[in-house]
Amino acid sequence: MIADFPLAEEQRFIWESAARFARDRVAPDAAKRDREHRFPFDLVSELAQLGLLGVKVQVEDGGSGADMTSYVLAISEISRACASTAVTMAVSNLVADILSRFASLDQKQRWLEPFLAGRMGPASFALSEPSSGSDAAALQMTAVRDGDAWVLNGSKQWITNGTHASFHLLFARVVDGPGPHPPGSKGITCFVVERGAKGLDAGTEERKMGLRSSNTAQLHLTDVRVPAVNVVGEVGKGYAIALSGLDTGRIGIAAQALGIMEAALAEGVRYAKERKAFGKALAEQQATQFAIADSRTDLEQSWLLTLRAAADRDRGAERTAKASSMAKLFSTEACGRVVDRMLQIHGGYGYVEDYPIERLYRDARVTRIYEGTSEVQRIVIARELLAG
Ligand SMILES: Cc1cc2nc3c(=O)[nH]c(=O)nc-3n(C[C@H](O)[C@H](O)[C@H](O)COP(=O)(O)OP(=O)(O)OC[C@H]3O[C@@H](n4cnc5c(N)ncnc54)[C@H](O)[C@@H]3O)c2cc1C
């Protein structure tokens, strides 16, 4: 569908380079990496060389200076080849986006520029905790001031790139002493915590249902001293930073789901043309045709909502909470329907590793959970609609 869309020259250029890279470099080993739970270190540095770790970051800060639409196009192509590589790229862009908008010049020189140049490896966005995910403002990690440093204590859960990150963009609550602390966003502050900081343990890697070549880990912090100059933005303003990052992050996950849907539909159509039952190809059976028609309609609706959210951003909207949430909600739920229908077309062969639909089916599931579950997206949309 996107091929028929009016795209600017730069958007088409980024889309085509991402598609070429996805086809030539990301796709060939995707199934093998998944089976081996192998993190794509080489691809992360190649993504950096292509400018795909900071697509929207301005050129002066080392980014590509492109727009949100270009980012959507790029991530959908990477995801079509490998959703694990896409989530690694999505989190990198989320971190880069936040640093480019909220970090000081010194901080950008120290972390953002080398990160985007591919000299640092991956980075993480550490908001969720063992007892707070959807209700992220209830986080319990504490930061207590001690001289020219902050002392951080607590744990983070489900952190993408957690084990391999060269630095973490980490959210903790500034307090005077030990908890328990009241829920709410008061005091939440954004810190950069570097790999190897004393007291930082990048825990055990999770064994996941899907996205097996992405890395997801717990972080445990025990009396980790973080220099005061590592605070990103103002002390106490971290929650607003996280939410503003998630506005764009959610469009990225919607685009990740677009890529999975594109791949699943292509697999389903191919199989339906090959496989015969009752004397004719599945593609000639009307039930199969309906599944394909409904899936294509789901996919195109998802494209429209996602491109619309991206366009709002490109027009300069500071916050796009409702549009981002609608894109993520619809696109990820549609993705669930599409992979399910396409697996069904494969029959028993859809349930084994020999066909790509099995991996696509597993990878799709988490898109309805991370960067805010579908329920959380509905809460955001309703809140915006009912306000005022
Ligand atoms: C593979 C993976 C990678 C991730 N990467 C990151 C990362 O890089 N950084 C990071 O910070 N986090 C990350 N996450 C965490 C993710 O964002 C959370 O899992 C998600 O926000 C949901 O939180 P939870 O798991 O604690 O579920 P809960 O918040 O405990 O929710 C459980 C269920 O209750 C529902 N629910 C909760 N509240 C309500 C309500 N008010 N109304 C209706 N239903 C409700 C939820 O929708 C969900 O279905 C990742 C998670 C996974 C699985």
The CA distances from residue 187 to 137, 182, 218, 333, in Å, are: 10, 10, 23, 34
Q: Which of 366, 373, 380 should be mutated for ligand 1, with most atoms under 8 A from CB?
A: 373
Judgement on whether residues 328 and 353 belong to the same structural domain of the protein = yes
Q: Which of 167, 370, 371, 379 should be mutated for ligand 1, with most atoms under 8 A from CB?
A: 370
Supply the CATH number for residue 343's domain.
1.20.140.10
- Indicate the residue among 201, 220, 236 that finishes a domain: 236
Which of the residues 9, 267, 371, 375 is marked catalytic? 371
- Sign of torsion, CA 352 354 360 366? positive
Q: Mention every residue, 6+ apart, whose C-beta is less than 8 A from residue 77.
A: 15, 18, 19, 21, 22, 259
Judgement on whether residues 111 and 184 belong to the same structural domain of the protein = no
Does this model's pTM top 0.95? My answer is yes
The Å distance, Cα 139 to ligand 1 centre, comes to 13
Judgement on whether residues 200 and 172 belong to the same structural domain of the protein = yes
Tokens (6 digits) for 333: 């739920």
Judgement on whether residues 250 and 362 belong to the same structural domain of the protein = yes
Provide the domain count of the chain: 3
Per-residue pLDDT tens digits of the chain, which is 388 residues long: 677 788 999 999 999 999 999 999 999 999 999 999 999 999 999 999 999 999 999 999 999 999 999 999 999 999 999 999 999 999 999 999 999 999 999 999 999 999 999 999 999 999 999 999 999 999 999 999 999 999 999 999 999 999 999 999 999 999 987 666 666 899 999 999 999 999 999 988 999 999 999 999 999 999 999 999 999 999 999 999 999 999 999 999 999 999 999 999 999 999 999 999 999 999 999 999 999 999 999 999 999 999 999 999 999 887 899 999 999 999 999 999 999 999 999 999 999 999 999 999 999 999 999 999 999 999 999 999 999 6
Supply the CATH number for residue 109's domain.
1.10.540.10
- Sign of torsion, CA 377 378 380 384? positive
The atom of ligand 1 lying closest to the CA of 134 is: 29
The Å distance, Cα 136 to ligand 1 centre, comes to 9
Tell me which DSSP letter residue 352 carries.
Answer: S
- Residue 277 three-state SS: strand
The Å distance, Cα 134 to ligand 1 centre, comes to 5
The Å distance, Cα 33 to ligand 1 centre, comes to 26
The question of whether 194 is a catalytic residue gets the answer no
Please give all residues whose beta carbon lies within 6 A of any atom in ligand 1, as ranges: 91, 124-128, 133-134, 158-160, 208, 211, 216, 366, 369-373, 375-376
Q: What domain range includes position 13? A: 2-121
The atom of ligand 1 lying closest to the CA of 124 is: 8
